[in-house]
Chain A
Amino acid sequence: MAEESTVTVADLVAWVHRFSEVIAEHADELTQLDSAIGDADHGTNMRRGCRAAVEALAAAEPEDVTGFGRAIAMKVISTVGGASGPLYGSFFLALGTAGGNTSSLDAGGTVAALKAAVEAVRTRGKAEPGDKTMLDALLPAIAAMEATLDEGGTLSEALAAGTSAAEEGMVATIPMLARKGRASYLGERSIGHQDPGATSSWLLIRSASETLAA
C-alpha cells in the first residue's frame, strides 16, 4: 500500500475541522433548504454541533480511531439535536468501532469504516435509498469508493469518486418524494427541493476527500 493511502487519527481530526468549516460556510444555505421542506434549523444545528465536535476532539486528544469516533459521536448526539444528531452521531460511533483500536487505516480500512458508518445511519433512521434523505448522498458515495478501490485506484481517487457520487446523489434528491423525516409531511410538495441532509452529507464526503488523502 502506498504511503499516501494511510489515514492517521490526525487526518481524521483534520477532516472534522474541515467539515466544521464548510458547514459554517454553507449554514445559511442548509437552513434555506430546510425551510423549504423541513423546519429551518439544519444549518444552525449542524454548525453548533460541528463546533462542539471540534472542541471535544481537542479536549479528548484521541489516539486511536475508536476513541476518535466515540469522542465526536457523544458530542454530536448531545449538541446537534433534531434527527441529525442521532444520525450523524451514529455515523461517527460506527466509524470508530469499525476502524478499531488502531492509530491509522489503509485505503481499504478507511472505506470499510466509512461504509460501516453509513450502514449505521441507515439502521438508526430506518430509511432506504430513494426516501430523499442523507442516504441518497452517502450510499452512492460508498459504492463509488468501493468500485474505485476494486479497480486498483488509490484512496485519493476513491474519495474523489465518492464526492462526485455524493453530489450526484444529492442533486438526485430534488425530484424525489420524501418518505422520511419532516419533509415526508409535505407529500407531493416535497418534490422539487434538494434534501438538506443529503446536502450536508455531500459536504461531509467532500471534506473527507480534501483531508484524508491529501
Chain B
Amino acid sequence: MKKLINAAEDVVAEALQGMERAHPELKINHELKVIVRGDAPVSGKVGIISGGGSGHEPMHGGFVGKGMLDAACPGEVFTSPTPDQMLEATKAVDGGAGVLHIVKNYTGDVLNFEMAAELAAADGIDVEAVVIDDDVAVQDSSFTAGRRGVGATVLAEKICGAAAEAGKSLAEVKELCERVNANGRSMGMALTSCTVPAAGKPTFELGDDEMEIGIGIHGEPGRERRPVASAAEVAKLLVEPILADLPYAEGEKALVFVNSMGGTPLIELYIIYNEVAKILAEHGVEIARNLIGPYITSLEMQGCSVTLLKLDDEMTGLWDAAVETPGLRWGA
C-alpha cells in the first residue's frame, strides 16, 4: 500500500485537522468528529446535515457551508458515522426550524441515522430524514437493502441547501429532497480497485484488462465485469440503464453530473461527458446544467459515475443559487 498518510488509524483525525487549518470558516469538533458551518445554528433556518463513511471527499465535509450543508459527520473510512456524532451535529445546527438528515441508503448509515433521529426527537428537536437511493446498478426489491445512495446525494445537498437558505420550511425542504431523489439516477464503473488504509490491500481484485460496471462507492462489486472498452462504449453502458430506468420525454431537461471515483483525471471525465452528451442528444434530452469533477469519490479508485437529474424550474433555480463550501463554490 502506497499512501500519503502517517498512520492508518489517524487518517480521518488528521484529515480533519488539515481541513480546519485550510477552512477556518468551519467549526470542527475533533472529539466527536463533526464539521459544522461557522455561523450555525442559523436562527429560523432549516438545518441540513449529512454524513457517511470517510473516503468520499469532498462529500460530505467539503459541502458544509452557506447554501449547502450545515454540518457533516464523517465516519471511519467507508464506515458509517455513529448516532452520538449525528446527534451532536443535529443539535449544533438546530435553529428552531427543524433539521433534515440526508442519508445515503446503506444499512449502516440508515440504522445509525435512525438511532440518532430517535435520540434527537427525545431532545425535542424536529427531525426528518430522506434516504437517497439513486444507483440503478442495484436491483430495487423488497428482498434486498435496496438501491445505494450515490451521485444524487451531492445534487440533493446542493439543491436542498439552497432551499433552506431561501427560508423554506422543513416539510418543503424534505419534499424537495424526495423530489431530487425521485428524479435522479446514477451508474458508476471502476477501472481499478481502491485500498482502505486500515485494510492495507485492495478491496477487490480487477485484472489489468478488466473493468467493473455498476461499482459502488465503497468498492462493492457491480452488475458485471467485462473487458476494458472505449470511453464511448463505457458512456453507453452507464447512460442507457439510467434512461431505461427513468425515461425522458423529448425536450425534457437534465443536469448531467460526471464524477470521478478519485483516480480518474478531469481530461478523461471530459471525454466521458462528450460521449454522454452525444447519447443524450440522440434521445432528445436537453442538458440544462452540468457538474464535472471529483465530488463523490472512492479513495483512489479509477473510474467514474454518471448521474442524470431530471430538472424542473424550481430545482434549476436552486442549483444556480449561491453556494460557499470548500467543495462547491459559485455565485457568492
A40 & B83 in contact (Cβ 8 Å cutoff):
no
Contacts of A83 in B (CB 8 A): 80, 106-108, 111
Choose among B115, B138, B143 the residue that contacts A185 (Cβ–Cβ < 8 A): B138
B219 & A39 in contact (Cβ 8 Å cutoff):
yes
CB contacts under 8 Å to B, within A66-100, are 77-87
State the Cβ distance, B202 to closest chain A Cβ, in Å: 8
B145 & A184 in contact (Cβ 8 Å cutoff):
yes
Choose among B76, B85, B111 the residue that contacts A45 (Cβ–Cβ < 8 A): B76
Does B81 count as interface, using CB distance less than 8 angstroms? Answer: yes
State the Cβ distance, B101 to closest chain A Cβ, in Å: 15
A31 to B42, CA, bound (A): 42
State the Cβ distance, A26 to closest chain B Cβ, in Å: 15
Known: A125-B107, A182-B220, A189-B221. A82 touches B79 (CB 8 A): yes
Contacts of B66 in A (CB 8 A): none
Choose among B108, B139, B143, B198 the residue that contacts A82 (Cβ–Cβ < 8 A): B108
Does B184 count as interface, using CB distance less than 8 angstroms? Answer: no
Contacts of A181 in B (CB 8 A): 107, 145
A124 to B110, CA, bound (A): 11
Does A101 count as interface, using CB distance less than 8 angstroms? Answer: no
A39 to B112, CA, bound (A): 17
Instruction: Please count how many residues in chain B sit with their CB below 8 Å of the partner chain's CB atoms.
Output: 36
B83 & A77 in contact (Cβ 8 Å cutoff):
yes
Does B158 count as interface, using CB distance less than 8 angstroms? Answer: no
State the Cβ distance, A119 to closest chain B Cβ, in Å: 16
B144 & A184 in contact (Cβ 8 Å cutoff):
yes
B111 & A40 in contact (Cβ 8 Å cutoff):
no
Nearest CB to that of A47 among chain B residues? Answer: B198
B199 & A45 in contact (Cβ 8 Å cutoff):
no
Does B20 count as interface, using CB distance less than 8 angstroms? Answer: no
Contacts of A48 in B (CB 8 A): 76
Choose among A39, A80, A81, A87 the residue that contacts B203 (Cβ–Cβ < 8 A): A39
State the Cβ distance, B197 to closest chain A Cβ, in Å: 10
Residue of B108, B115, B137, B204 ringed by the most chain A CB atoms within 10 A: B108
Known: A82-B80, A83-B108, A182-B145. A40 touches B216 (CB 8 A): no
0/1 per residue, B104-131, Cβ < 8 Å to A? 0011100110110000000000000000
Contacts of B174 in A (CB 8 A): none
State the Cβ distance, A83 to closest chain B Cβ, in Å: 4
Does A214 count as interface, using CB distance less than 8 angstroms? Answer: no
Binding site for A on B (CB under 8 A): 53, 75-85, 106-108, 111-112, 114-115, 137-139, 143-145, 148, 196, 198-199, 203-204, 216, 218-221
Q: List 13 A-B contacts (CB under 8 A).
A: A35-B204, A39-B196, A44-B198, A78-B84, A86-B111, A86-B112, A180-B144, A180-B145, A181-B107, A182-B145, A185-B144, A185-B145, A185-B221
Binding site for B on A (CB under 8 A): 31, 35, 38-41, 44-45, 48, 77-87, 124-125, 178-182, 184-187, 189
Closest A-B pairs by Cβ, 5 of them: A83-B108, A184-B144, A82-B108, A86-B111, A81-B79
